[in-house]
Structure 1
Amino acid sequence: MLNQYETVFILTPVLSDTQVKETVTKFKNVIAENGGEIVYEEDWGLKKLAYPINKKTTGFYYLIEFKANGETIDKLETQYRRDERVIRFLTFKLDKFAAEYAIKRRSNKSVEKKVEE
């Protein structure tokens, strides 16, 4: 049985847009290659950090929501630790209430996009 997870990672701010996309693709591939299924992803863009990390005050934030088994999480987090472009990361398992909230959050985002158009 696959559990539902959400991972957020922060990339170093000195990367170009293509480097950010390459890095995100790399992590999405790690999930897919290990039997995971990506449910949703969101690029939060360049944001100010709450406190400096490695003398950096900003970073590119990215969220990926996916279904996978526990072994996939181990492999994904190993890749985060090995990649020097990743400043911080957090992966957590969604319980049924968090999963319902994530669905509601996604539907609200799609409604907001339709209103803007």
Structure 2
Amino acid sequence: MKNYEVTFIVDPVLSREEIEATAQTYVDHLKNEGCQIVHVDEMGLRQLAYPINRRTSGIYYCIEFEAPNGELIDVMELALRRDERIMRFLTAALDKYGVKYNADKRAGKIGKVKKKAKKSDDRKDSRRDNRKKDEKRKPAPKKEEAAAKSEEEE
């Protein structure tokens, strides 16, 4: 069995029940074709990068499944293309690394990286050190005074 992932965007104008029924329709369709559903993820309402059908947002769903053959992908994509509630979709075949990544992500091993608080002591910057030394120094003499000193030295 080969692993696949289909991500689709549902029109946000629909009611909550219609949106869930749309996603469940495709889950049921895959089960009827003999696929094993690994995970269904509702990613929620997100802003689109560009308008699609005059909409600027959409509700994202991702279904990860194992299929006995690739023939049912064409049938499912045709159904997604004909469905007016689906704004866009993308089907991807997953290799062993994609399957492992998705499993780790669901287990919580992969997530958003927490940024460490920066400490001024940890960061060594030569410019900062020079600035501190410059602050302790006296202001530089004016050009006239510098010229007068150089003449005295000669």
Which residue in 2 is equivalent to 1:103? 103
Which residue in 2 is equivalent to 1:91? 91
* Aligned mates of 1:22, 1:65 — CA distance in 2: 18
Deviation of 1:54 after TM superposition, in Å, equals 1.1
Instruction: Give structure 1 regions of 4+ aligned residues with deviation exceeding 3 angstroms.
Output: none
In the TM superposition, what are the counterparts of 1:52-67 in structure 2 within 5 Å?
Answer: 52-67=51-66
User: Comparing both chains, which one has the higher relative contact order based on Cα–Cα distances under 8 Å and sequence gaps of 6 or more?
Assistant: 1
What are structure 1's unaligned runs of at least 5 residues?
110-117
User: What amino acid sits opposite 1:63 in the alignment?
Assistant: C
What are structure 2's unaligned runs of at least 5 residues?
110-154
Deviation of 1:71 after TM superposition, in Å, equals 1.4
* Aligned mates of 2:24, 2:75 — CA distance in 1: 15
* Aligned mates of 1:31, 1:105 — CA distance in 2: 23
TM-score, length basis structure 2: 0.68
What is the root-mean-square deviation in Å for CA atoms of aligned residues?
1.0
Deviation of 1:34 after TM superposition, in Å, equals 0.8
Deviation of 1:80 after TM superposition, in Å, equals 0.2
Structure with higher strand content:
1
Whichever of the two has the greater Rg, that structure is: 2
* Aligned mates of 2:75, 2:24 — CA distance in 1: 15
